[in-house]
Amino acid sequence: MLIKKPVGITSYGAYLPSLAIRAETIARSQGRADESVYQNLAVAQKTVPDFDEDSTTLATAAAYQALSRLRGKANIGALFIGSESHPYAVKPTGTMVKTALGLPDQMSLVDMQFACKAGTQAVQTGIAHVLSDLAPEALAIGTDTAQSRPGDVLEFTASAGAAAFVLGRQKILARLLATRSLASDTPDFWRRPRENYPQHAGRFSGEPAYFQHVLANARAIMEECQLDVNDFKYVIFHTPNAKFPQLVAQKLGFSPEQLAPGLIVKQIGNTYAAAVPLALAAVLDVAQTGDKILTVSYGSGSGSDAFVWEATAGLVSARKKFKNLISEQISKLKVINYEDYRSRTRQH
């Protein structure tokens, strides 16, 4: 759907845990040091949440940065948090985040879950609330502390992080030009009640799941907007690893240069519901006035949200005062060993 009214991102924030583990360290623990499985994923390391970090604390930290950059929170009338690792099965994450941030009680608030696209679903729902005048501004957050069974291939990528976006119609940093979604019953990844770790359908999660949804949604939104690959400065696809988005970019005709700024999965792993939001934040950290950004998420089960954004002069001006950009957070990551990693992931 083309968005004709001015609306978009008015502030954003991101948070990464300070710890990371190298892929080769995990490979040695799994007895795969001589195999190519982890090299094929093209993920060098992933973030690790500390003992006192969960999806709630990550969301709060990312949102705090977004609100600090905005320098005001009185107009926020909606909060949507997408995650597949909400700390409680029955108790909202949002109420805790709202209270920690000092947001008003009078607001719409929903915890969302749609695998790795829950964060972009939160953004889309926040935009809808603003456009329908249900809220002057909305806060949308993607946050996760992803779990993986020891020895599983997911252990190389499942990581942690959060990104938050304030959405509104005034002082827009990145204007939304269009958005659309699609969904199908394609069960490539799941976790039943009382199971500690998710299960996945291996290679089935590629062609009929990720690739089918991301390619179809990307092509559809570009056709609707009458834009082609050359109209975009940057492109972001969901990053279960670094290989899948690179293949999608090649199939659609995007260059490595268009994909590279958002391909932070190589340094932080797959942050699930925060993956595309964090990649978008990384691109906003470098985008210039007029740059168009194609963003396409994917969530197992399955579905995809697509967005076309355009950076404004306001972004370039506001960013001069921004501190602790994603690149800075990545540069400060402290690498830990496998024993330290396992002691922390048992808590999540």
**Domain 8-173+319-345 is of which CATH architecture?**
3-Layer(aba) Sandwich (3.40)
Q: Which of 116, 129, 155, 310 is catalytic?
A: 116
Among this protein's residues, is 84 annotated catalytic?
yes
Q: Which residue has the higher pLDDT, 312 or 345?
A: 312
**The residue to which tokens 């399955």 are assigned:** 302
To the question of pTM greater than 0.75 for the whole model, the response is yes
Average pLDDT over residues 174-183: 97
Question: Is residue 316 pLDDT above 60, yes or no?
Answer: yes
Q: Which of 137, 238, 310, 348 is catalytic?
A: 238
Question: Is residue 96 pLDDT above 90, yes or no?
Answer: yes
Among this protein's residues, is 257 annotated catalytic?
no
pLDDT at 344: 87
CATH 3.40.50.300 correct for 176-312? no
| 193 phi-psi bin (left φ>0, alpha ψ -120 to 50, beta other) | beta
Angle at alpha carbon of residue 257, lines to 39 and 14, rounded to 5° = 75
- Determine contact, residues 163/65, Cβ cutoff 8 Å: no
* pLDDT band with cut points at 50, 70 and 90 for residue 203: low
Question: Is residue 205 pLDDT above 80, yes or no?
Answer: no
pLDDT at 200: 62
Beta strand pairing status for 292-296 and 108-112? unpaired
Domain ranges of the chain: 8-173+319-345, 176-312
Q: Which of 53, 84, 137, 310 is catalytic?
A: 84
* pLDDT band with cut points at 50, 70 and 90 for residue 190: low
pLDDT at 202: 58
pLDDT at 284: 98
Question: Is residue 235 pLDDT above 70, yes or no?
Answer: yes
- Average pLDDT of the chain to the nearest whole number: 93
pLDDT at 83: 97
Q: Copy the structure tokens of residue 182.
A: 């699609």
- Three-state SS for the chain is CECCCCCEEEEEEEECCCEEEEHHHHHHHCCCCCCCHHHHHCCCEEEECCCCCCHHHHHHHHHHHHHHHHCCCCCEEEEEEECCCCCCCCCCHHHHHHHHHCCCCCCEEEEECECECHHHHHHHHHHHHHHCCCCCEEEEEEEEECCCCCCCHHHHCECEEEEEEEEECCCCCEEEEEEEEEECCCCCEECCCCCCCCEECHHHHHHHHHHHHHHHHHHHHHHHHCCCHHHCCEEEECCCCCHHHHHHHHHHCCCHHHHHHHCCHHHHCECHHHHHHHHHHHHHCCCCCCCEEEEECCECCCEEEEEEEEECHHHHHHHCCCCCCHHHHHHCCEECCHHHHHHHHCCC
Which tens digits make up the pLDDT trace of 290-310?
A: 999 999 999 998 999 999 999
Question: Is residue 195 pLDDT above 80, yes or no?
Answer: no
pLDDT at 153: 87
Among this protein's residues, is 225 annotated catalytic?
no
* pLDDT band with cut points at 50, 70 and 90 for residue 72: confident
Q: Among 22-26, 199-203, 213-217, 310-314, where is mean pLDDT lowest?
A: 199-203
Question: Is residue 348 pLDDT above 60, yes or no?
Answer: no
